[in-house]
Structure 1
Amino acid sequence: MTTLIPREPYSPEELERLYPKGLKLQLVQVFLRHGERTPVSSRFQNTGLAPCNSPKPRPVPYDAATQLTILRNEDLSSWNGFQFRRKMESFGNRDQSVVAVGAGNEIEGICQHGELTDKGRETTYALGQRLRHLYVDQLGFMPAIRSDSEDMYLRATPIPRALESLQQAFWGMYPTSARTLNFPPPVIVARSVSEETLFPNEGNCRRFRQLARLFADRAASRWNDSEQMEYLNKLWSKYMPEASPKVAVDAHPRLSGIMDTINATDAHGPATKLPSEFYDKKGRAVIDRIAVEEWFAGYNESTEYRKLGIGALMGDVVDRMVSTAVDGGWRSETSASGSGKPGDGKSIKFAMSGCHDTTLAAILSSLPTTEPTPAPCWRSSPTPRVAAKKTGLFSSLLGNKPTAQQKLAPSETARAPIESFPEETRESLRKHYVRLRFNDQPVYIPGCASKPENHLPGDESFCTLDAFKEIVDKFTPKSWQDECMQNLGQGLHGPNDQERSPAGF
């Protein structure tokens, strides 16, 4: 929601430390939070904040006037681009259709709630350029010119801003000048929203929805009458609606909704600003702390919460790594490399998923990660900052030796628990390493960093794949859809969560 100012690219000395000569990079998985967007709801219009767009002659900060859609040619043999200008309609005073007009009487450039803005397109395109600089220019891991995307896996959630951000990042990494004339359309993988696990899916997992509400109610009982909330009321209560005059976790708007509007408006310059009280540093620190507890404390405290919120996705992440290490490579039937016959195609080297801050925070809170030294885009805390995620979470798999590429049958290791692996396979996994980076900063997983046998000698940020899988296995559901229907009405900790393991171990 807010804008991240990325650090400078890695220096040669930093690269030498980050990528030891004794290891070879084999698989990269990137989870990128969508770019800057508009608020998800109209709030605080009583402050003079224009809904979505801003009056001219100031720049329109939430510009969404021109879109790009894809149409099929008349003979249905190929696809083409089609540009159009969008105007919005609304109800008139007699319910008739009228054109929607912005605060400055403009009738174009009016966006919708939660929509990616031009600022968001710029920053996610820049992210793609940073990925190219690191993985193409500096490391030589990915090719400079592409004739296809066979060794890439692209996925996005059903939310348009996530898909558009992924497209921008891919475009930044491989612009037109870096693709051959016969480059085919890349495959972008999607899921039905009822089966989506690329974000914590409250809407389609009943037990997780219950847990989320219970943790939110607990946060309300802890914080609504606190000194910190009293401070927020001194700042913002005068702007609250008459029907809900006090600032509270469960007020209308909710405290997290106020945070959404603050961060979204702050990311787009003076034309979208709320009154200055909303950007009070102490107030923002307080709202950040409370919102983190409301939304993400469950990942740190409850195995069931981790399983249902992010466990299915992390199971996929680990499956890809194990396939790379054990099966000679990971190949997805849904990606470009799965477009031929079974067993055809290249092993995937680079995966990129367009997702949300709730995705990244859930991953980081479930492990949970820490950092060894202060970083410009991260604060040390039991759970991560919610509002400052931009470049995403990076997961890199490295091994002592490169694995030979081969034609693959479907992996038999998918979702197999680590204890079922033969010792020979586990010994191989101990020679492969996983590292997570958040906003270009390596982060440490407690269960790996605390035991010498679980990390690369001399560098605790490299977790052995064996140890990493053992940690993730503990909160990978056997059947996400079935477990979403279990323990309904069982409170914060269901019967299967009584002997829960601590996050990150």
Structure 2
Amino acid sequence: MTTLQPRPPYSDAELAQLYPRQLHLQQVQILLRHGERTPVNARFANAGLPAFWPYCSAVRRLRSVVLGPSGPGAESVSASDGTFSELQWRRRLETFGASDAAIPASGPSNELDSICDLGMLTDRGRETTYALGSRLRKLYVDHLGFLPASIKDADFLYLRATPIPRALESMQQAFLGLYPPHTRDADFPPLTIVSRSPADETLFPNDSNCRRFAALSRAFAQRAANRWNDTDDMAYLTKKLGKWMPTDNPRVAVDSRPRLSGIMDTVNSTLAHGPATRLPKEFYDPKARSIMETIAVDEWFTGYKESQEYRALGIGALMGDVVARMVSTAERNVPPPDAEFSNKNNGDDDAAAFRFGLSGCHDTTLAGILASLGAFGNDAWPPFTSHIAIELFRSNDDSATGTAKTSSSLFSSLWPSSKPAPIGRKPTPDLTPREKESLQGYFVRLRYNDSPVVIPGCKTPGNHLDGDESFCTLAAFKAIVDKFTPLDWKRQCHTNVKGPAFPEKPEPAGY
């Protein structure tokens, strides 16, 4: 629930089962939760927990790009004739002291340097996300030969992160583990990392910029409060932790101050770090932690399981992007990997034409995806540095789909030879026969923290690889995701804001 304990590396037998010979890996998209961090809010000072933690050595080694004059004696600078260089600096935090006087923020042993800000990726978080990148290299480079051992550029990669620094830094650490410096050419060009403005961000459930989703989130949170606040489980939490809650309202509740999910956040953050930043032992009571997690999962993620609108506004835009990239690869009919890897996309200018994606995101991203696909169940809250690997495979055996693959030569005789418009996010019911044919022979498999995921709608005969339900046909996977992919996310975010929050009839996820 806090720090991920990775499973041992796959054995040869496991690799043979996970990556059968009749399937060729074509594309991988990794979505990773950031590594260990400090709490997003300072809580429980009355329990002896320091507000500032000394676990962020990176703030002693910061660099910024600065623009200077092109030569000595220049009185002004401009980007056209100036010179860019790096300014090295270290950051120290200030906080309020007595009578609002500014004082240095210090750690539990009066440390002034390496002090973390709230919600900041810590040294431990950097270590675990680097280790994730190393595990990805072991699998996709060393074992499978899917990625090259050394690279001249990163044109085959899609690197992205949310606007929150810990997500970007975690993705960068994972990239470093995947391709350490000695595996990159001396003249390796700067990485291209994609980001979006907060108003356009869909790499996490964006309730700050999607009013309708915010309304739905509040409604499901209130339902969780109504469901859990007066239970014996919540009474147990109050008995254990109430002495550290505000004196005017010492009761623990879904909507208490701090909220139950906030209490859990602080517990998880402290467990991931050293003894100098620990809470009293009652916070780590196994039964109390189990109750907190069960209730928090219900509050935050049940909406994805029950409401198609919740899925669409919370995670549907991201999953629409994920599927569109896989469909683009299938449409180009990419051949199995050659012995000699090429970093280039064979002249294809399609922005989606990449081989491996690495996106830094959050716990709500991963759980939102799994719950929207009907594959989360009552799982634990995603630990730090959790990840989902979304893998696209191409079959070299037409019978593997359970249906006969239509000859491409037949379709080429029925349609003009000019390049058709890409499918993109075109809904499955609107696909032409030729477009449907282009998806045949492709399979999608999700692995969550290295364990295969089975999606309910993929269990139907004909929707999966014969003998393995975790390999969903691309056509079936797209059809499932299409049902909660918004047609106009921004418009839908500002439509029907005050409408009913709960669906009139069940809308189960994963079908």
Query: Common fold, TM-score beyond 0.5?
Result: yes
* CA–CA separation in structure 2 for the residues paired with 1:88 and 1:339: 46
Mapped contact 2:156–2:344 kept (Cα < 8 A) = no
* CA–CA separation in structure 2 for the residues paired with 1:346 and 1:212: 31
Measure how far apart 1:491 and its partner are: 2.4
Measure how far apart 1:19 and its partner are: 0.4
The match for 2:389 is 394
The match for 2:210 is 205
The match for 1:44 is 44
Query: Residues 368-379 of structure 1 correspond to what in structure 2 (within 5 A)?
Result: 368-369=374-375
Mapped contact 1:329–1:347 kept (Cα < 8 A) = no
* Worse overlay, 385-394 or 33-42: 385-394
* Worse overlay, 421-430 or 432-441: 421-430
Query: Residues 228-239 of structure 1 correspond to what in structure 2 (within 5 A)?
Result: 228-239=233-244
Which of 171, 189, 196 matches 2:194?
189
Measure how far apart 1:271 and its partner are: 2.0
Mapped contact 1:303–1:500 kept (Cα < 8 A) = no
The match for 1:56 is none
User: Quick one: structure 1 residues 182 and 279, their matched pair in 2 at CA, closer, same or farther if it must change by over 3 Å?
Assistant: same
TM-score by length of 2: 0.87
Q: Percent identity?
A: 53
* CA–CA separation in structure 2 for the residues paired with 1:319 and 1:383: 29
1:302-323 Cα shifts (integer Å, max 9, x gaps): 0000000000000000000100
The match for 2:493 is 484
3-state SS, counterpart of residue 453 of structure 1: coil
1:18-46 Cα shifts (integer Å, max 9, x gaps): 00100100000000000000011111111
Whether 1:385 and 2:369 are equivalent positions in the alignment is no
Which of 428, 431, 436 matches 2:441?
431
Gap runs ≥5 in structure 2? 71-78, 336-342, 398-417
3-state SS, counterpart of residue 261 of structure 1: helix
* CA–CA separation in structure 1 for the residues paired with 2:106 and 2:305: 46
The match for 1:68 is 62
The match for 1:474 is 483
* CA–CA separation in structure 1 for the residues paired with 2:275 and 2:386: 24
The one-letter code sitting in structure 1 at the alignment partner of 2:291 is V
Q: CA RMSD in A?
A: 2.5
Measure how far apart 1:255 and its partner are: 0.2
Gap runs ≥5 in structure 1? 54-59, 331-336, 371-381, 403-407
Mapped contact 2:96–2:102 kept (Cα < 8 A) = yes
Mapped contact 1:3–1:267 kept (Cα < 8 A) = yes
The one-letter code sitting in structure 2 at the alignment partner of 1:484 is C
Mapped contact 1:68–1:81 kept (Cα < 8 A) = no
Measure how far apart 1:132 and its partner are: 0.6
The match for 1:270 is 275
* CA–CA separation in structure 2 for the residues paired with 1:488 and 1:197: 19
Query: Residues 59-458 of structure 1 correspond to what in structure 2 (within 5 A)?
Result: 60-61=54-55, 63-72=57-66, 74=68, 82-328=87-333, 343=349, 347-369=353-375, 382-401=377-396, 412-449=422-459, 451-458=460-467
Mapped contact 1:70–1:79 kept (Cα < 8 A) = no
Mapped contact 2:62–2:91 kept (Cα < 8 A) = no
* CA–CA separation in structure 2 for the residues paired with 1:13 and 1:79: 53
* CA–CA separation in structure 1 for the residues paired with 2:11 and 2:85: 41
3-state SS, counterpart of residue 140 of structure 1: coil
Measure how far apart 1:383 and its partner are: 4.1
1:446-499 Cα shifts (integer Å, max 9, x gaps): 0002x1200000111000000000000000000000001112111223xxx546
The match for 1:19 is 19
The one-letter code sitting in structure 2 at the alignment partner of 1:438 is Y
Mapped contact 2:30–2:387 kept (Cα < 8 A) = yes
* CA–CA separation in structure 2 for the residues paired with 1:355 and 1:367: 18
User: Quick one: structure 1 residues 346 and 228, their matched pair in 2 at CA, closer, same or farther if it must change by over 3 Å?
Assistant: closer
* Worse overlay, 413-422 or 297-306: 413-422
User: Quick one: structure 1 residues 101 and 343, their matched pair in 2 at CA, closer, same or farther if it must change by over 3 Å?
Assistant: closer
Measure how far apart 1:47 and its partner are: 1.2
* Worse overlay, 477-486 or 44-53: 44-53
The match for 2:34 is 34
TM-score by length of 1: 0.88
Mapped contact 1:150–1:346 kept (Cα < 8 A) = no
1:48-96 Cα shifts (integer Å, max 9, x gaps): 111132xxxxxx4454542433425645688665543221123343544
3-state SS, counterpart of residue 349 of structure 2: coil
Measure how far apart 1:101 and its partner are: 3.0
* CA–CA separation in structure 2 for the residues paired with 1:165 and 1:362: 19
1:1-29 Cα shifts (integer Å, max 9, x gaps): 71111011111111100001001000000
1:252-307 Cα shifts (integer Å, max 9, x gaps): 00000000000000011322111111111111111111000100000000000000
The one-letter code sitting in structure 2 at the alignment partner of 1:69 is R
User: Quick one: structure 1 residues 79 and 321, their matched pair in 2 at CA, closer, same or farther if it must change by over 3 Å?
Assistant: farther
Mapped contact 1:389–1:439 kept (Cα < 8 A) = no
User: Quick one: structure 1 residues 293 and 504, their matched pair in 2 at CA, closer, same or farther if it must change by over 3 Å?
Assistant: same
* Worse overlay, 298-307 or 61-70: 61-70
Computing the radius of gyration over CA atoms, which structure comes out larger, 1 or 2?
A: 2
Measure how far apart 1:109 and its partner are: 1.9
User: Quick one: structure 1 residues 244 and 67, their matched pair in 2 at CA, closer, same or farther if it must change by over 3 Å?
Assistant: farther
User: Quick one: structure 1 residues 345 and 267, their matched pair in 2 at CA, closer, same or farther if it must change by over 3 Å?
Assistant: closer
Mapped contact 1:152–1:350 kept (Cα < 8 A) = yes
Measure how far apart 1:214 and its partner are: 0.5
User: Quick one: structure 1 residues 340 and 425, their matched pair in 2 at CA, closer, same or farther if it must change by over 3 Å?
Assistant: closer
* Worse overlay, 269-278 or 117-126: 269-278
Measure how far apart 1:409 and its partner are: 8.2
The one-letter code sitting in structure 1 at the alignment partner of 2:295 is I
Mapped contact 1:296–1:365 kept (Cα < 8 A) = yes
Measure how far apart 1:242 and its partner are: 1.3
The match for 1:378 is none
User: Quick one: structure 1 residues 500 and 421, their matched pair in 2 at CA, closer, same or farther if it must change by over 3 Å?
Assistant: farther
The match for 1:373 is none
